[in-house]
């Protein structure tokens, strides 16, 4: 059974650094691109970042580019998102999502985690 379990969210202040993670199981993690997608209160889903299977190519939404970093450790079946210079508008539920192939551009996901809440407040 494919499972994606996010962790590391919580109530945080602007600035500093926060890392959220996604533990994957039930499939060959190293064969697929992965993404982070978020949903702010009252808003729709917003794609945040993607990484290819080898971790050699990444892409970011304009809203987080230069502030967030996506990474993966395939030997641990884990995806990460490091959030620096956080802003209140980053408050959202963050989901990890498995792409159906190794593309970081097509945004075709077949499995999703349950999400982790990140709340940014001063």
In three-state secondary structure terms, 24 is strand
| Exposure class string for 28-44: b at 16+ Cβ within 10 A, else e | ebeebbbbbbbeeeeee
Mean confidence (pLDDT) of the chain: 94
pLDDT above 90 (res 22): yes
Long-range pairs of 25-32 with CB within 8 A, sequence gap ≥ 24: 25/1, 25/77, 26/1, 26/2, 27/2, 27/98, 27/111, 29/72, 29/74, 29/77, 30/54, 30/74, 31/102, 32/98, 32/99, 32/100, 32/101, 32/102
pLDDT 10s digits, 77-118: 999 999 999 999 999 999 999 999 999 999 999 999 999 999
Q: What is the structure's pLDDT at 121?
A: 86
Contact 118, 6 (CB under 8 A): no
DSSP annotation of 73 reads: E
> pLDDT class for 28, splitting at 50, 70, 90?
very high
Three-state SS annotation for 87-118? CHHHCEEEEEEEECCCCCCCCCEEEECCCEEE
């Amino acid at each position: 059974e494919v499972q994606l379990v996010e962790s590391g969210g919580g109530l945080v202040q602007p600035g500093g650094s926060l890392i959220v993670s996604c533990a994957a199981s039930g499939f060959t993690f190293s064969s697929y691109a992965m993404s982070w997608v978020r949903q702010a209160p009252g808003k729709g889903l917003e794609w945040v970042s993607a990484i290819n299977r080898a971790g050699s190519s990444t892409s970011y939404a304009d809203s987080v580019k230069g502030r967030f970093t996506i990474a993966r450790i395939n030997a641990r079946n884990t995806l990460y998102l490091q959030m620096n210079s956080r802003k209140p508008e980053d408050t959202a539920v963050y989901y990890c999502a498995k792409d159906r192939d190794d593309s970081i551009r097509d945004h075709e996901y077949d499995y999703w985690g349950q999400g982790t809440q990140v709340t940014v407040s001063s």
